Amino acid sequence: MTPEVATILAKGITIFAMVGTAIGEGLVAAAFMNAVGRNPKVEDTLFSKMIVAIALCESTAIYAFVAFFILG
């Protein structure tokens, strides 16, 4: 395997990481909407937890994005 092929494969893996985190963020937001739809009184307590969960997902995407550009 040549270095160019290895770089392209590594970049592809980082793209999969970014796509996975986008799907994860969507699932977190959908679960929040579902929970609030079932019990609107818990919106205040769940909102901050949802923001933290989405921030964690987003940080993984940012790491993958940085790795994509570091690879070459």
Could you report the per-residue pLDDT of 26-54, keeping only the tens digit for each? 999 999 999 999 999 999 999 999 999 99
How many CA within 13 A on the CB side of residue 30? 6
Which pLDDT score, from 0 to 100, does residue 53 have?
94
Residue keyed to tokens 């494969």:
9
Residue keyed to tokens 């790795």:
67
Rounded Cα distance, 72 and 68, in Å: 7
Domains of the chain plus CATH, in order, are 3-70 (1.20.20.10)
Q: What is the DSSP letter of 27?
A: H
Its pTM stands at 0.81
Which of 49, 23, 21 is closest to 35 using CA atoms?
Answer: 49
Residue 72 has pLDDT above 90, yes or no: no
